[in-house]
Amino acid sequence: MKAFTYVGLPARVVFGVGALAQLPAELDRLGAKRALLLSTPEQSDAVRRVAASLGDRAAGVYDKAAMHVPIEVAEDARRVARELQADVGITVGGGSTTGLGKAIALTSSLPILAVPTTYAGSEMTPIYGLTEGGMKKTGRDARVLPRTVIYDPSLTVSLSAALSAASGMNAIAHCVEAMYAQDANPIISLMAEEGIRALAASLPIIIRNPKDLEARSEALYGAWLAGISLGAAGMALHHKLCHTLGGTWNLPHAETHAIVLPHAARYNRDAAPEAMARIARALGAKDAPTGLYDLELKLGLKMKLADLGIKAADLVYAARIATEAPYPNPAAIDYAQVLELLQNAFAGRRPA
Ligand code: NAD
């Protein structure tokens, strides 16, 4: 066995249908009396219901979280947290809302209690992102890691079938890259493989019946494992491409991950055979890249970058940015091959 380093990140996780009822007890554990609750405008009603259930322990609601955490929103939310003298931030939502909580914690060390409602996995990572002047900067800081996470699958039934499928593939992407990352280790690979298995088994059921709580539980469990994988192991070519496409062309986060993933896996297939065998096994497929592609077809996802609004002529620039300062990757990074990968993803070709 190869030598490795494993770091477990601290987090208290409360998981299960109805787990949100434990929110007051979890606030007690944190010694919190003045909660600032955060959400996007779309989830304002949901977060206000949670606030109402807390009575006067809810000091306020801030419902302007937005994708990629614009700095103006972060600064406004930090001001509100200061003015309310909040002693905890409760995030109710997907990666955008968790990201806003992290932005507040980054400058104030406000403890965060996360209640995730998508499969993005941000709640398990010390990674934050902030967007200023059209540029997204990311970093790692222990202060932004949520102290407590409440996973309640019943909060995910309102996530549409399309968003569930894309968000679930985003989570699978974290697992895939964690298995062949430069700092991959056998403990994280165990979680990543189980994460793929749980998501691949549950997502097809969810898109047929978004209210199936058993499948929703399985998917959220997989997303939790995927978040741990993302937080613990570095990411490679796939995440670099998605950050490039999301950052420069503002393509939707989860959908971009879903389209690029089979092609990034194909790029790395021969350079990471052990990881690919585990991914294929978790998918119940013969081959990892085509197994991922076929799962996405079954989920009814968009399969072409062309469908997300990027132009064929932009691919040359995207390939250049993605190869100029690449993340460590099992297969050597080659401009012409990365361009070919993007062209295949643009056209939605099966990565045979
Ligand atoms: P999102 O948080 O932007 O949510 C998408 C939309 O779905 C929003 O309108 C949201 O309000 C809505 N929504 C969320 N849950 C819902 C539910 N259960 N029912 C109905 N509507 C719901 O999307 P996301 O994909 O979860 O997060 C993407 C963002 O998270 C990106 O900015 C990405 O960079 C970031 N992210 C960060 C990390 C990290 O470790 N820092 C990890 C993953 C993603």
309 and 168 share one domain? yes
User: Widest CA span of the chain, in angstroms?
Assistant: 59
- Pocket probe for ligand 1: among 115, 122, 123, 213, the residue whose CB has the most ligand atoms within 8 Å is 122
Quick one: 272 exposed, middle or buried, by C-beta within 10 A (0-12, 13-18, 19+)? buried
Could you tell me the CATH number of the domain that includes residue 175? Answer: 1.20.1090.10
152 and 83 share one domain? yes
- The tally of CA atoms less than 13 A away on the side-chain side of residue 202 is 29
128 and 239 share one domain? no
Tell whether ligand 1 has an atom less than 6 A from the beta carbon of residue 121: yes
- Which region, left, alpha or beta, applies to residue 79 given φ > 0 means left and ψ of -120 to 50 means alpha? alpha
* 291: in domain: yes
137 and 189 share one domain? no
User: Atom 17 of ligand 1 has which residue's CA nearest to it?
Assistant: 159
* 4: in domain: no
- Pocket probe for ligand 1: among 62, 163, 301, the residue whose CB has the most ligand atoms within 8 Å is 163
CA 182/CA 204 separation, integer angstroms: 31
* 352: in domain: no
- Pocket probe for ligand 1: among 39, 40, 69, 96, the residue whose CB has the most ligand atoms within 8 Å is 96
Tell whether ligand 1 has an atom less than 6 A from the beta carbon of residue 216: no
* 273: in domain: yes
Which ligand 1 atom is nearest residue 246's CA?
A: 34
Asked which of 127, 156, 185 is the last residue of a domain, the reply is 156
Quick one: 268 exposed, middle or buried, by C-beta within 10 A (0-12, 13-18, 19+)? buried
**Could you give the percent of the chain with pLDDT greater than 90?**
94
CA 202/CA 214 separation, integer angstroms: 8
Residue 184: partners with Cβ closer than 8 Å, 6 or more residues away = 4, 178, 233, 275
Asked which of 98, 124, 156 is the last residue of a domain, the reply is 156
* 6: in domain: no
135 and 188 share one domain? no
Asked whether the CA dihedral 197, 349, 239, 121 is positive or negative, the reply is negative
CA of 296 to the centre of ligand 1 (A): 19
* 91: in domain: yes
325 and 249 share one domain? yes
149 and 247 share one domain? no
CA 179/CA 272 separation, integer angstroms: 9
- Measured in whole angstroms, how far is the alpha carbon of residue 297 from the centre of its chain? 21
211 and 79 share one domain? no
The string of pLDDT tens digits covering residues 2-22 is: 899 999 999 999 999 999 999
Confidence at residue 352, expressed as pLDDT on a 0 to 100 scale: 84
Tell whether ligand 1 has an atom less than 6 A from the beta carbon of residue 229: no
Task: Please give the residue range of the domain that contains residue 39.
Answer: 12-156
CA of 273 to the centre of ligand 1 (A): 32
CA 45/CA 291 separation, integer angstroms: 39
Looking at the structure of the chain, the number of domains it has is 2
Confidence at residue 1, expressed as pLDDT on a 0 to 100 scale: 86
Confidence at residue 248, expressed as pLDDT on a 0 to 100 scale: 86
Asked which of 97, 124, 156 is the last residue of a domain, the reply is 156
CA of 130 to the centre of ligand 1 (A): 14
Confidence at residue 250, expressed as pLDDT on a 0 to 100 scale: 87
> What's the pLDDT band for 319 if we cut at 50, 70, 90?
very high
Tell whether ligand 1 has an atom less than 6 A from the beta carbon of residue 256: no
**Could you give the percent of the chain with pLDDT greater than 70?**
100
145 and 230 share one domain? no
CA 260, 261, 264, 270: dihedral to nearest 10 degrees? -150
Could you tell me the CATH number of the domain that includes residue 45? Answer: 3.40.50.1970
Taking Cα atoms as reference points, which of 13, 157, 27 lies closest to residue 90? Answer: 27
Question: Over the chain, what is the mean pLDDT?
Answer: 96
Q: What is the mean pLDDT of residues 312-339?
A: 95
134 pLDDT above the threshold of 80:
no
324 and 250 share one domain? yes
92 and 170 share one domain? no
- Which region, left, alpha or beta, applies to residue 159 given φ > 0 means left and ψ of -120 to 50 means alpha? beta
* 23: in domain: yes
* 224: in domain: yes
315 and 173 share one domain? yes
The string of pLDDT tens digits covering residues 165-218 is: 999 999 999 999 999 999 999 999 999 999 999 999 999 999 999 999 999 999
| Most confident range, picked from 129-138, 213-222, 318-327 | 213-222
Which ligand 1 atom is nearest residue 40's CA?
A: 11
Decide which of 68 and 287 is more confident.
287
Specify whether the CB–CB gap between 114 and 224 falls below 8 A.
Answer: no
Q: What is the mean pLDDT of residues 85-104?
A: 98
